[in-house]
Amino acid sequence: MRKVRTAVLISGSGSNMAALVEASKAADYPAGVVLVVSNTPDAAGLAKARAAGVEALAIDHRPFGKDRESHEFAIQAALEQAGAELVALAGYMRILTPFLVRAWSGRMLNIHPSLLPLYPGLHTHRRALEADDKEAGATVHLVTPSLDEGPLLGQARVPILPGDTEETLAARVLIEEHKLYPACLAEVAKALQEDGYPPPGDAWPGALGKHGGALG
Ligand code: GRF
């Protein structure tokens, strides 16, 4: 069976992206990473992707100023050009507009470093420590218009240990993220293959068509 063409959006170190790329090299893994996009040109993940033989593009959000949608039109153009069928957000630190979320409805995954619905948003590990939680973890979910919500695809749990700091806890969670995300992506890719690639959101393929090709 062919691999589902998957794009990964990053903003930083890209360790989750690297875990997805590594997993996707196995012959029987149902997804293949065809494109990595970063909104920050100096993201370390871009070099990691290229070193792994994956096309990697920087689409800087700064020239677009407050016009987040136009930035997303540029990303969408790159996704369409790469023939992407799934999108995995992996440390992508921009809040999406309804345009991109709708275009990829049911086809966009995110990994969040908490046991959702606990701690959506930032500083998840600090908040878990401040709440004196006994465990922390990570969640992979489908992306919907609300931040860090959407159907859960999987969770990984780790204990919070005496003396933990944000850094030690983040490192323990990250190890689990690198196993959880490839497992969840595989499930979604397999389901797509089995269901015969049903159409995604209301605006794809050619999500840009609706916007008059307003691309830079
Ligand atoms: C991860 O903790 C992920 O859960 C969160 O951002 C971090 C990204 O790390 N969304 P990396 O760029 O994958 O190394």
Element spanning 187, H or E:
helix 166-194
Q: What is the mean pLDDT of the chain?
A: 93
> Residue 79: is its pLDDT beyond 90?
yes
CA distances from 110 to 28, 66, 77, 167, 194 (A): 23, 23, 20, 21, 22
pLDDT value, residue 198: 79
* Percent of the residues in the chain that have a pLDDT greater than 90, as a whole number: 87
Between CA 94 and CA 23 the distance in angstroms is 25
> Residue 129: is its pLDDT beyond 70?
yes
Q: What angle do CA 117, 120, 125 make, to 5 degrees?
A: 100
> Residue 16: is its pLDDT beyond 60?
yes
Q: What is the pLDDT of residues 47-72, one digit of tens each?
A: 999 999 999 999 999 999 999 999 99
Check residue 58 and give left, alpha or beta (phi > 0: left; psi -120 to 50: alpha): beta
Between CA 119 and CA 82 the distance in angstroms is 34
pLDDT value, residue 134: 98
Type of residue numbered 94: R
Task: Confirm or reject: Cβ of 16 under 6 Å from ligand 1.
Answer: yes
List, in order, residues 6 or more apart from 86 with CB less than 8 Å away. Answer: 4, 5, 6, 7, 31, 107, 108, 109, 185, 188, 189, 192
Q: What is the pLDDT of residues 34-45, one digit of tens each?
A: 999 999 999 999
Ligand 1 centroid to 45 CA: how many Å? Answer: 11
Query: Which residue, by CA, sits nearest to atom 3 of ligand 1?
Result: 91
Q: Which active-site residues does the annotation give?
A: 112
Ligand 1 atom closest to the Cα of residue 170 is 2
Query: Which residue, by CA, sits nearest to atom 5 of ligand 1?
Result: 91
Say what angle helices 15-24 and 166-194 make with each other, to 10 degrees. Answer: 40
CB-CB neighbours of 142 under 10 Å: 18
pLDDT value, residue 22: 98
Of the pLDDT bands very low, low, confident and very high (cuts 50, 70, 90), residue 147 is confident
For a substitution probing ligand 1, which of 168, 177, 179, 184 has the most ligand atoms within 8 Å of its CB?
177
Task: Confirm or reject: Cβ of 137 under 6 Å from ligand 1.
Answer: no
Task: Confirm or reject: Cβ of 12 under 6 Å from ligand 1.
Answer: yes
Q: Provide mean pLDDT across the span 158-169.
A: 98
Ligand 1 centroid to 14 CA: how many Å? Answer: 7
For a substitution probing ligand 1, which of 174, 175, 181 has the most ligand atoms within 8 Å of its CB?
174
Task: Confirm or reject: Cβ of 112 under 6 Å from ligand 1.
Answer: yes
List, in order, residues 6 or more apart from 30 with CB less than 8 Å away. Answer: 1, 3, 4, 186, 189, 190, 193
Q: Tell me which of 8-17, 19-28, 115-124, 199-208 is least confident.
A: 199-208
